[in-house]
Chains A and B, each alone.
Chain A
Amino acid sequence: MSFEPILLAPEEQVEEIYPYRRVWRTSWLEIWVLLLAVAAIWVLTHFFGALPATLRDPLPKLAIALLPLAAWLVFSFRAERRAPQPRPGLVGLLILGALAANGVAIPLQEHLFTPDRWLPGQGFFGRVLGYGLTVGVTTEFLKYAILRYTGWPQRFRQRLDGVAYALTVSLGFAVVYNVHFALDPDMTLTATALRVASVTFSQLGIGVVTGYFLAELRIGRPPIFWLSAGLLLAGLLHGIYYSFRGIAIVSGLGVGATASSPERGLALAFGLVAALFAVFAFLIESSDARMEALTGRREVL
């Protein structure tokens, strides 16, 4: 006769509550919101004519420029505050990213690198290297420096932390670039919207690379040229995106009606961020899974 207790109620399933904000999920939400908003503007202007094609009012343009920030606040930041273990200092990183973009990246681009003057006439690989080795590496180095000298290594306890922080800094960059475009009086609303999407997606997508490399340096045991490789990879990704974007948008000659296709730039940008998110999600997931198998944890203490 056993004296096991008779259970009158089924066993309670102990659900593990994920203590952190789900970075990929919230970031995807932001991406989709921006994509849908920009697509809606484009469709309304070009297919239904509900919005004038030559709308150049600064307020709507500013609104679309700040939409990624609003989406981040609504989805990522709110989720972060409500998570059991919120990541600190996100707003500070956002602000630092914006300041670095406005104070360093943009002046360097406009006055030292001046890609407009010498890159358009180059061939494809010339543009990749030219843009990547100037604007690209500078942008990503600035993001790296902000992350490195604020919360690294203590705030990087898991790989996803790197992604979360890097996405925040990148968003700060993107918002400043977007506001610059929005304040350009020649840009139409549609053009601004497409640019906003393009810049935001590329900054977020490539920013993930920097975040991943920094996180891996904290958590894993990569070789000493790890960060350098990451910087060059991220920089060249900027160059590759820049080159492909030019080809995607350019339309050639048309007789009679114009035949430009800036919407292909939108598709390319979304494709870039989707691909990068997917690839690094996969890499992080497999590294985390391996680490969990070895150590039983997905984070360092």
Chain B
Amino acid sequence: MVAKRRGSFALLMFALGLLSLLIGLGLPLMPLERGQAQDDPTPSPTPDSPLVELNEDVIKRATVFIMQTYQGANEPVISCVGSGTLVSADGLILTNAHNVLPSERCPADRLAIAVMVRMDEPPIPTYTAEVVVASQGLDLAMLRISGYLDGRAVEPGTLQLPFVELGDSDSARLDETITVVGYPDIGDEPVSVTRGTISGFTAEARAGNRAWIRTSATIPGTMSGGGAYNRDGKLIGIPTISPARSGGETVDCRIIQDSNGDGRADRNDTCVPVGGFISALRPSRLARGLVRGAALGTTLGDDLTNTAPVRSSGQPAFRNLFFTTRINEAGIPASVVGTVPAGTSSLYLFFDYENMVDGMVYELRVTVDDIHAPDYSLPPVTWSGGQRGQWYIGSAGTPWRNGLYDFRLFIEGREVASVKIVVGGGPREDPMFSDIVFGVLDEGGGLVGTNYVLPEGSAIQARFNYRNMQSGIPWSYIWYYEGAELTRDTANWDGDAQGTRLITAAADFIPGQYRLELYINNQLAAKADFVIAGGAEANTALIFSDFRFTTEQSAGTPGVIRTEFPTGSRALYAFFNWRLVAPGTMWTRRWSVDGDVLFEITEPWDAPPDGENYFVSLDSLNTLPDGTYTLEILMANVSLHRLDARIGLGQLPVDTFASAEGVQMTGRITDAETGDGIPGALFVVLEPEYSVEDFLWTEAQVLGISLADNEGRFQVPELLPRGTTDEPMLYSVLIRAEGYIPITADAIAVTGETESPVELNVALSRN
């Protein structure tokens, strides 16, 4: 009996033991593979929440804090701060020029870059950076991270930082939601995300109808240089505030350190300006060329004259203000208006300027019935128009409300001009002139030739439209040359009520810049500028000729002339001859590569009127990448010439601009028993075409590697390209650490819906 009881007890224990063994082994028995992924780590989007396209995580980490510093008495002193955005994995940063260029108010000999380490903490100063290219006029600049704060250089190609892509700012719509990212404070706050809508666009000369994107978002001043993103997470604008000025009005300036070394931090020390709010964004289209140039390592090279613009000694001024509601493609106002009917959706203020310098701060303040109207104003921003010429500021696309508008222009805080206009009432039936174009008469009596650039020596005709004219109304016209009146004539109208009319210039015009003003009843009715340059050739102006490309020059003499050059050329020169160009004539040269604009320079002609072998060039930090390079020459917004030269294959290498698209893989590697992180544990993601079985432990098969930090956290710097829902990209990963059983997993799916970052938490077991 006892034995039987013992026997059944033993049997029971044996059965129990076997069951425990099975539980312990985890059905099915004999798992000979090492750990496999048991969960599909691709979370599917919940049906009622919209797919999040804006990857806020990457955008926040791509936003950096920039500090201009100089060596003070005892320690580095921060003079000015701002935000910036990483636009490439190897450390190119897009920001405002005033954030990085040393100035009187912001002395600096070093730029310190602070990056976000943890989402909810202020950024940590980590790198130093150098200016690659800066446009003071556009107030945009490109930096490249060049070293660490301890003075060590960054090895090229070793940085794998999060970055964002530029979007198409031209497709931004009114009332579209934008997300603005930047740092609102000095070291107290983590990166800040503000949402707002696009409340309008401000037009300016040269940049067009979208020179500025206006927003209702509340953007603190230190976020200047950060980024504004559309719904796809692409950068479409750069919040820009005017640079702080010495002795100028500074709204908020913080004293944070003892910069003069006297042992006290007080008013005698440098303060860091943090004031103001931003309502204007520079569209990314204006930054695209700078970004592309910096990414390709291409810079503007020398040209023949290479002189810095001469700073005029006169007082900067704006004059001859007038309004128009329409501008043609060449930037010429259609007509001059004194009042505007209700419902007008575009209005531009034109003015002449002189003695300006790129980088000066100007401002337009508009009031409607004495109430400040920020949407029609332009906050203080930097001038980019050069020394003299004609400019406009306006807005198209948003209706102008009825009221009495007062436009006041300021330069460096000083009011320099103002004008008023009334918007309201029904459509006007006043007599009007509009759409002045210029040309030469052909045999048939028609007007031919490029309309605002005309050759020397021909009889210049001006043609304009008229409406609502009545017989007997006094009208006049005045021709100007280089700002001085040439001839004028007055008459009583003797034509129809509407039609077109021709005016012939009294004499042959010599090369230079001209203007025609038309008046009705002594009121300015229309105005247009044109340029005389070059000789006549079949009714068009032949100004520049004999274009030649070469890759070397010495003392102004071109080297070998070709249109196709081998890979590895350091510079590209374009030589050409010219005739009859009056000094001071504004001309534009535009370099593009593979159809995308790199640089555009508009400047007054500073060489003799005739000559040979003028050259302009593109230079590079290393070599010019393969591609098709295009040089376009324009005058008065008219494209005169467009030429191509090929280097190497004639096309940029396919992976020149890496995509910011993709999924970040991050997470934590811990000890299964203690829950502690395993510092130094290795996390490997393979290229999608390889599985764990195929892996031969060669770097060529590896997409990305990360070592776990003190807490076991890892982050694969390379983004994983996505697949589609039907054909997801499948990745294999391996996790290893000494003393732990390695874990491998195949077929981690990444599709278009996978949210970034993908967090993988791995528990390794010791034995």
- Considering only CB atoms and an 8 Å cut-off, how many residues of chain B contact the other chain? 55
From A187, A251, A269, A277, give the contact of B35 (CB < 8 A).
Answer: A251
Query: Contact: B739 with A116, CB < 8 Å?
Result: yes
User: Which stretch of A66-74, A97-105, A279-287 is in the interface?
Assistant: A279-287
A91 within 8 A of B: no
User: Which stretch of A79-87, A142-150, A157-165, A238-246 is in the interface?
Assistant: A238-246
A49 within 8 A of B: no
B619 within 8 A of A: no
Q: Indicate the member of B22, B23, B674 with the most A CB atoms within 10 Å.
A: B674
User: Which stretch of A168-176, A207-215, A218-226, A252-260 is in the interface?
Assistant: A252-260
State the Cβ distance, A34 to closest chain B Cβ, in Å.
14
Contacts of A131 in B (CB 8 A): 767
A234 within 8 A of B: no
From B13, B32, B764, B765, give the contact of A124 (CB < 8 A).
Answer: B32
Query: Contact: B745 with A252, CB < 8 Å?
Result: yes
User: Which stretch of B38-46, B89-97, B113-121, B319-327 is in the interface?
Assistant: B38-46
Chain A residues 259-285 with CB under 8 Å of chain B are 259-260, 262, 264-279, 281-282, 285
Chain B residues 589-640 with CB under 8 Å of chain A are none
Query: Contact: A191 with B767, CB < 8 Å?
Result: no
Query: What sequence of 0s and 1s flags, for each residue 738-753 of chain B, a beta carbon within 8 Å of any chain A beta carbon?
Result: 1111110100100000
Given contacts A116-B766, A246-B765, contact A255 B41 (CB under 8 A): yes
State the Cβ distance, B749 to closest chain A Cβ, in Å.
12
In the complex formed, the residue of A with least CB distance to B16 is A274
Query: Contact: A123 with B743, CB < 8 Å?
Result: no
From B7, B36, B736, B759, give the contact of A255 (CB < 8 A).
Answer: B759
Given contacts A255-B41, A278-B11, A285-B7, contact A272 B763 (CB under 8 A): no
Q: CA separation between A186 and B674, bound complex, in Å?
A: 7
From B17, B674, B733, B766, give the contact of A274 (CB < 8 A).
Answer: B17
Chain B residues 689-748 with CB under 8 Å of chain A are 733, 736, 738-743, 745, 748
State the Cβ distance, A15 to closest chain B Cβ, in Å.
11
A54 within 8 A of B: yes
State the Cβ distance, A258 to closest chain B Cβ, in Å.
5
Query: What sequence of 0s and 1s flags, for each residue 182-222 of chain A, a beta carbon within 8 Å of any chain B beta carbon?
Result: 00001110010011000000000000000000000000000
Query: What sequence of 0s and 1s flags, for each residue 99-142 of chain A, a beta carbon within 8 Å of any chain B beta carbon?
Result: 00000000000000001110111011001000100000000000
B19 within 8 A of A: yes
From B10, B674, B742, give the contact of A278 (CB < 8 A).
Answer: B10
**A-B contact number at CB 8 A:** 182
Query: Contact: B38 with A259, CB < 8 Å?
Result: yes
B161 within 8 A of A: no
A40 within 8 A of B: no
State the Cβ distance, B82 to closest chain A Cβ, in Å.
37
A247 within 8 A of B: yes
Contacts of B14 in A (CB 8 A): 274-275, 278-279, 282
Q: CA separation between A194 and B21, bound complex, in Å?
A: 16
In the complex formed, the residue of A with least CB distance to B21 is A271
A62 within 8 A of B: no
Query: Contact: B765 with A260, CB < 8 Å?
Result: yes
B253 within 8 A of A: no
Given contacts A187-B673, A258-B670, A258-B761, contact A264 B26 (CB under 8 A): yes
State the Cβ distance, A177 to closest chain B Cβ, in Å.
13
From A28, A247, A270, A279, give the contact of B25 (CB < 8 A).
Answer: A247
Chain B residues 326-380 with CB under 8 Å of chain A are none
B446 within 8 A of A: no
Q: CA separation between A256 and B671, bound complex, in Å?
A: 16
A300 within 8 A of B: no
B34 within 8 A of A: yes
From B670, B676, B741, B758, give the contact of A250 (CB < 8 A).
Answer: B741
Query: Contact: A252 with B675, CB < 8 Å?
Result: no
A53 within 8 A of B: yes
Query: Contact: B13 with A278, CB < 8 Å?
Result: yes
Q: CA separation between A262 and B18, bound complex, in Å?
A: 18
State the Cβ distance, B629 to closest chain A Cβ, in Å.
48
A233 within 8 A of B: no
Contacts of B675 in A (CB 8 A): 53-54, 188, 191, 258
Query: Contact: B24 with A268, CB < 8 Å?
Result: yes
Contacts of A281 in B (CB 8 A): 10, 13
State the Cβ distance, A10 to closest chain B Cβ, in Å.
19
In the complex formed, the residue of A with least CB distance to B758 is A255
B6 within 8 A of A: yes
Given contacts A116-B738, A120-B740, contact A258 B763 (CB under 8 A): yes
Query: Contact: A248 with B741, CB < 8 Å?
Result: no
Contacts of A256 in B (CB 8 A): 759, 761
State the Cβ distance, A208 to closest chain B Cβ, in Å.
13
Query: Contact: B10 with A249, CB < 8 Å?
Result: no
Contacts of B16 in A (CB 8 A): 274
Q: CA separation between A209 and B742, bound complex, in Å?
A: 32
State the Cβ distance, A178 to closest chain B Cβ, in Å.
14
Given contacts A250-B35, A271-B22, A285-B7, contact A257 B761 (CB under 8 A): yes
Chain A residues 28-76 with CB under 8 Å of chain B are 28, 53-54
Contacts of B3 in A (CB 8 A): 285, 289
Q: CA separation between A48 and B270, bound complex, in Å?
A: 57
In the complex formed, the residue of A with least CB distance to B668 is A258
Q: CA separation between A195 and B674, bound complex, in Å?
A: 11
From A117, A253, A267, give the contact of B24 (CB < 8 A).
Answer: A267
Contacts of B739 in A (CB 8 A): 116-117, 120
From B10, B31, B38, B670, give the contact of A247 (CB < 8 A).
Answer: B31
Contacts of B7 in A (CB 8 A): 282, 285
Q: CA separation between A120 and B34, bound complex, in Å?
A: 10
Query: Contact: B17 with A278, CB < 8 Å?
Result: yes
Query: Contact: A115 with B18, CB < 8 Å?
Result: no
Contacts of A278 in B (CB 8 A): 10-11, 13-14, 17
In the complex formed, the residue of A with least CB distance to B24 is A268
Query: Contact: A186 with B41, CB < 8 Å?
Result: no
In the complex formed, the residue of A with least CB distance to B29 is A244
From B19, B37, B674, B743, give the contact of A187 (CB < 8 A).
Answer: B674
Query: Contact: A277 with B738, CB < 8 Å?
Result: no
From A120, A121, A245, A274, give the contact of B13 (CB < 8 A).
Answer: A274
In the complex formed, the residue of B with least CB distance to A247 is B31
B20 within 8 A of A: yes
Q: CA separation between A218 and B741, bound complex, in Å?
A: 42
Query: Contact: A195 with B19, CB < 8 Å?
Result: no
Given contacts A247-B25, A248-B26, A264-B26, contact A254 B760 (CB under 8 A): yes
Query: Contact: A264 with B24, CB < 8 Å?
Result: yes
Contacts of B766 in A (CB 8 A): 116
Contacts of A249 in B (CB 8 A): 672-673, 765
Contacts of B17 in A (CB 8 A): 270-278
From A253, A271, A289, give the contact of B20 (CB < 8 A).
Answer: A271
Q: CA separation between A282 and B9, bound complex, in Å?
A: 10
Q: CA separation between A143 and B223, bound complex, in Å?
A: 72
In the complex formed, the residue of A with least CB distance to B735 is A253
Query: Contact: B20 with A267, CB < 8 Å?
Result: yes
Contacts of B670 in A (CB 8 A): 258, 260
Given contacts A272-B17, A277-B13, A279-B14, contact A255 B24 (CB under 8 A): no
State the Cβ distance, B12 to closest chain A Cβ, in Å.
8
Q: Indicate the member of A191, A262, A271 with the most B CB atoms within 10 Å.
A: A271
Query: Contact: B761 with A255, CB < 8 Å?
Result: yes
Query: Contact: A186 with B676, CB < 8 Å?
Result: yes
6 A-B residue pairs with CB within 8 Å:
A120-B740, A121-B736, A188-B673, A249-B672, A259-B761, A285-B3
Interface residues of A, Cβ cutoff 8 Å to B: 24, 28, 53-54, 115-117, 119-121, 123-124, 127, 131, 186-188, 191, 194-195, 242, 244-260, 262, 264-279, 281-282, 285, 289
Interface residues of B, Cβ cutoff 8 Å to A: 3, 6-7, 10-11, 13-14, 16-26, 31-32, 34-39, 41, 43, 670-676, 733, 736, 738-743, 745, 748, 758-767
- 3 smallest beta-carbon distances between A and B, as pairs: A268-B24, A274-B17, A271-B20
